[in-house]
Amino acid sequence: MSVVRIEQATREYTQGESKVYALNQVDLEIQPGEFTALCGPSGSGKTTLLNLIGALDRPTSGSVFVEEVELSALSDSERADFRLQKIGFVFQAFNLIPVLSAVENVEFVMQLQGISKSERRKAALETLAEVGLSGMEHRRPGQLSGGQQQRVAVARAIVNTPKLVLADEPTANLDSKTAHALIELMARMNSEHGVTFIFSTHDPLVMESAKRLITLQDGKIIADQKRKS
């Protein structure tokens, strides 16, 4: 069973009297455990595609399924709950809560899920250790480097072991050494825990690391390359 299945998805916008297609009749399947990068120039549709998969937007036409659930059929509140329960997100701007410590930021999603305080604290501490942040659990984001903040964001995304993590330009604000360490970390999460990752990226490092490279242009998939492990 595919983790993601997209059938003839189109996302159009109106500009003045004309229509602009951010995505145009896209078909795509992502299998469990894939490590996939969406690439292409700005405006090619990769972020739009990621937003549809993440239930952050709806297609104008066509269907988007995640774990065989058709996202367009869900109400706004159902889509929000689906995102909370099923999908991890990593953003280029980190999106950490400044007044919370690293461990509290990682706990936050689990708190929304209603997980007990002791259980979420244990899971958060274990995950922070796994991403190399032992000893920094009680630092706030402003006391962490950019790379450390992004590791907190990755820990938050994977702490409840979702089947799918979406990462929108996750290395954009990082130097090359930190970016390389972050990609290695996510690749390890992929291989050891079977987490499916989908990135949107301009970063050659991310593209080189991906096991599958999907290229978009003008809202269409123009290349889909799978690499041998």
Parse the chain into domains and list their residue ranges.
Answer: 33-47+76-226
* Pairwise CA distance, residues 72 & 49, whole Å: 14
- Please determine, looking at this structure, whether the domain spanning 33-47+76-226 carries the CATH number 3.20.20.80: no
Residue type at 216 in one-letter notation: L
- The tokens describing 80, both together, are 């929000």
**Residue 19: both structure tokens together:** 């229509």
pTM of the model: 0.89
Comparing CA positions, the residue from 149, 200, 193, 132 lying closest to residue 170 is: 200
Which among 142, 188, 133 is positioned nearest to 165, based on CA atoms? 188
Print pLDDT tens along the chain (229 aa).
899 999 999 999 888 888 889 999 999 999 999 999 999 998 899 999 999 999 999 999 999 999 999 998 999 999 999 998 899 998 877 889 999 999 999 999 899 889 999 999 999 999 999 888 999 999 999 999 988 998 899 899 988 888 899 999 888 878 888 888 888 888 988 998 889 999 999 889 899 999 999 999 999 999 999 987 5
